[in-house]
Amino acid sequence: MTFKFLHVSDTHLARDYPKAGGYLRTQAYNHAFNQVIDAAIRHKVDFIIHTGDLFSSNRPFPRAVQYVTRRWERLHQHKIPLILIRGNHDGSYIGLGAFSGTACDYVTSTFDPPQEIVDLSTNLPDYPILIDPSLYERYPTRGLAVKAVRFGNDLEIRGCGYGEYMQLIIFVSMY
């Protein structure tokens, strides 16, 4: 089976610095993100994978969260899943392994009961999905993230965002 997907990274939504051109920068980033959503719908992709730094900070402005939510609703109408992997600007682990929360928490699905792997061939969650094995391992009962996303027996995506080792790794395996 073949898959058509769109890969995007480092959108840094809600980035409003430097202050001198902050508003224009925010508008430019939002426009670029809108073009990504439009392209995904126009080309009828199977999914979008965003590999880090959806927002520019782990505490995004409410209007930025609303902006992403409205874009997600458009994708959801077209049955296009949005898969997120956490980047260093989205939030990370802080000293002594304490978790400070991520910007992705504002827009992603919470699975109840928690799921290690989500199969998108049978289930389209109501919100974007966060793949973060480190978060899943630290808080396995909270359902905040999954270890992998699967499309039946054809494709599996695993990723670990920025964390203890400060690297981004994505594993894609075809069966």
Looking at residue 98, its pLDDT comes to: 44
pLDDT score of 14: 75
User: 31, 43, 78, 89: which one is catalytic?
Assistant: 89
CA distance 159 to 30: 25
Q: Tens digits of per-residue pLDDT, 112-135? A: 788 888 898 888 887 888 887 777
**148: β partners:** 117, 158
pLDDT of residue 84: 85
152 three-state secondary structure: coil
Bigger pLDDT: 162 vs 9 = 9
pLDDT value for 160: 65
133-143 tens-digit pLDDT: 777 777 777 77
* CA count, 13 A, side-chain hemisphere, 98: 4
pLDDT of residue 96: 41
Check pLDDT > 80 for residue 174: no
Whether the Cβ atoms of residue 71 and residue 114 lie closer than 8 Å to each other? no
Measure Cα distances from 40 to 33, 92, 128, 174 in Å: 11, 28, 15, 22
pLDDT of residue 45: 96
**For 47-101, how does the pLDDT look when each residue is reduced to its tens digit (9 = 90+)?**
999 887 888 777 777 888 888 888 889 999 999 999 988 776 666 545 444 445 5
Residue 163, CA distances (Å) to 50, 156, 172 in order: 17, 21, 19
CB-based burial label for 157 (10 Å; 0-12, 13-18, 19+):
buried
Q: What is the pLDDT of residue 165?
A: 45
Backbone angles phi, psi at 24, to 5 degrees: -65, -40
Asked about 76 being catalytic, the answer comes back as no
pLDDT of residue 43: 97
Token pair belonging to 147? 């270890």
Distance CA 33, CA 117 (A): 27
Over residues 13-59, the pLDDT tens digits come to 876 666 676 778 788 888 999 999 999 999 999 999 988 788 877 77
Residue 166 scores a pLDDT above 60: no
| Strand, coil or helix: 82 | strand
Q: What backbone phi and psi angles, to 5 degrees, belong to 37?
A: -60, -45
Ranges of each domain in the chain: 5-174
